[in-house]
Structure formats: C-alpha cells, structure tokens
Amino acid sequence: MSRIGKNPVTIPAGVTVSVAEGVITVKGKLGQLTQEYSDVTVNVEGDQVQVERSSDHKDQRAKHGLYRSLINNMIVGVSEGFTKELELVGVGYRASNQGQKLDLALGFSHNIVLEVADEVKLETISEKGKNPIVKLTSFDKQLLGAVAAKIRGFRKPEPYKGKGVKFVGEVLRRKAGKSA
C-alpha cells in the first residue's frame, strides 16, 4: 500500500466534496476546483475522503498516492489558500503591478510585462534598502506553482553573485569566482 494513499483526507468545516463519474469537485470559501481521476475509487464518508485501489497493478499503485495528494491540495487550497514569494536580487531589479499585470525590470533592454491569471492574487512589495518581493496567492496550487516558475524562469539565479529571481528562503548553491 502507498503510505500516502492510505491516509484519509479530513474535510474541514465549510468545504464540500462531491464525486461523480471520474470527476471530484471541491468547493470552499476561496473558490471551486475540479480534478479528473482514473484507476482508483474515491469515497466520501462523513468528514473524510478515502482513496482506494482495486489491485496492485503498477498504474494503480502510482496513481493511488498521486490522487490522494491532489485531493488534499484541493481541500487545503479552497479552505486556506497557498502563497509563494519571489525575491528579485540584483542592482536595478524592480517589480510593480497594475491590477493583474506584472511589470519586471530584470536588466534586459525592455521591461517584461506578464498578464497573471485572475485566480492568482498579485502583490509587489518594494522597501528601501531591501530586495523587491513579488507575492503570489491562490487557491490552486498547480496554477500558483506554474506562474511562480514562469516568473523565476525570466532570470534564474546565477551561482556566482546570486543575482536573479529566487524564491524567498531558497538556498542557492554558490560557486567561488576566479582565483587571482
């Protein structure tokens, strides 16, 4: 048995989970998420969701823990939400936003303007003497991670000075420079 898959997911107050023909729907105070599933059975009993598989076939073993984790992320997302913060490290690196448009100055000849999905709340924090921070908040963990990875991909941190876009708290592997 998958150690993750056999753990039941607890449904908090204010969240409703419904299962219908290969699609699970989770509704909460922050929004609604749906996920298709296959090769496993999902049972909602009281305030718990249990994911079970019918055999030990390789496909079913692989999907057992996967769908349990996806359902858990959906439930946590619609009840509490997820947050990611990106830090812009470098001289002259700036971030600003007008609604859902993120404007990044990352040392290129032109600024990068990114239209962020409506499900992701966008906030930029710029304090004097500190690196600018882009704060992303959403109830959809997959979408949040994709948007954060897209922003980080514009200028990944380099290993010598650490300049670039990095997650807050991310530990970078640093290299020594030239030895004279």
CATH number of the domain at 110, please: 3.90.930.12
**φ, ψ for residue 114 (rounded to 5)?**
-120, 125
Q: What is the pLDDT of residues 127-174, one digit of tens each?
A: 999 999 999 999 999 999 999 999 999 999 999 999 999 999 999 999
Domain termination site, one of 22, 47, 79: 79
Tokens read off for 160: 């010598």
User: For residue 51, is it within any domain?
Assistant: yes
pTM for this entry: 0.89
If one counts the domains in the chain, the total is 2
What residue type is 72 in one-letter code?
N
Query: Same structural domain for residues 32 and 49?
Result: yes
Distance from C-alpha of 170 to C-alpha of 27, rounded to nearest angstrom: 32
Distance from C-alpha of 66 to C-alpha of 72, rounded to nearest angstrom: 10
